């Protein structure tokens, strides 16, 4: 009886610690980014000449200013009417950009220039099937919300539209990284079911692509 009670208390303690740890992990706050720097950088033709894919990264993190500049280049607002640095079919702005950092998963709010917390857990390794994705400074995940496409077309057609839009964002990231001496690679090898479940995505939300960014080895 004494042993059974001890085992029960031990189990209860472990469960409580797990609950508290999980709760603490979810308790992440929004991150206000510094204003993006919209001038300077490498000339376009030089950036194109230096554009390449990188699949080996150091564990060096990116400074907040670099992250702000990166996200603005990727899919920031560059006009007063709210249009973006990357084209969007019919300006539906179907895509959301999530950023997986060691501190957790965040949603990029371009209008407010804030990282909105989505998950208080390091899921970088889950954003792809290759080993290096877990060591890159960050991983961008491009998620389409098909409900934002009002036309009466198939989901397959909607995903095709979103895929083209994600490609534009990915190329913006490639050129930014070339300009700033960073490495990056866009990826389609993702366990989308597992990642979508972890991210808590809704049925109309679809993972399109991911992109690893960091300092190259």
Domain range enclosing 201: 30-214
Phi and psi at residue 125, in whole multiples of 5°?
Answer: -65, -25
Burial 97-107 (b: 16+ CB within 10 A, else e): bbbbbeebbbb
What pLDDT is attached to residue 134?
A: 96
The answer to whether residue 118 is domain-embedded is yes
What are the residue ranges in the chain where pLDDT is below 50?
2-25
* CATH code, domain carrying 63: 3.40.109.10
Burial 161-185 (b: 16+ CB within 10 A, else e): bbbebbebbbebbbbbbbbbebbbb
The answer to whether residue 7 is domain-embedded is no
What pLDDT is attached to residue 33?
A: 98
Judge contact between 70 and 41, C-beta under 8 A. Answer: no
What pLDDT is attached to residue 27?
A: 76
Which residue in 77, 70, 110 sits closest to 212, CA to CA? Answer: 70
What pLDDT is attached to residue 24?
A: 40
What pLDDT is attached to residue 26?
A: 58
The answer to whether residue 12 is domain-embedded is no
Number of domains in the chain: 1
The answer to whether residue 23 is domain-embedded is no
The answer to whether residue 187 is domain-embedded is yes
């Amino acid at each position: 009886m004494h042993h059974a009670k001890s085992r029960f208390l031990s189990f209860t303690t472990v469960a409580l610690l797990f609950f508290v740890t999980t709760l603490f992990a979810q308790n992440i706050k929004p991150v206000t980014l510094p204003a993006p720097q919209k001038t300077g950088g490498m000339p376009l033709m030089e950036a194109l000449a230096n554009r390449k894919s990188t699949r080996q990264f150091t564990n060096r993190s990116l400074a907040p200013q670099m992250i702000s500049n990166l996200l603005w280049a990727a899919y920031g607002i560059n006009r007063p009417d709210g249009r973006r640095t990357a084209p969007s079919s019919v300006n539906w702005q179907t895509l959301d950009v999530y950023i997986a950092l060691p501190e957790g998963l965040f949603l990029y709010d371009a209008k407010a220039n804030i990282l909105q917390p989505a998950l208080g857990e390091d899921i970088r390794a889950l954003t792809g099937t290759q080993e290096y994705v877990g060591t890159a400074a960050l991983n961008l995940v491009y998620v389409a919300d098909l409900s934002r496409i009002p036309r009466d077309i198939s989901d397959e057609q909607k995903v095709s539209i979103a895929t083209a839009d994600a490609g534009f964002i990915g190329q913006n990231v490639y050129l930014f990284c070339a300009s700033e001496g960073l490495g990056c690679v866009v990826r389609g090898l993702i366990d989308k079911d597992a990642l979508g479940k972890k991210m808590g995505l809704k049925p109309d939300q679809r993972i399109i692509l991911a992109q690893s960014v960091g300092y190259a080895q």
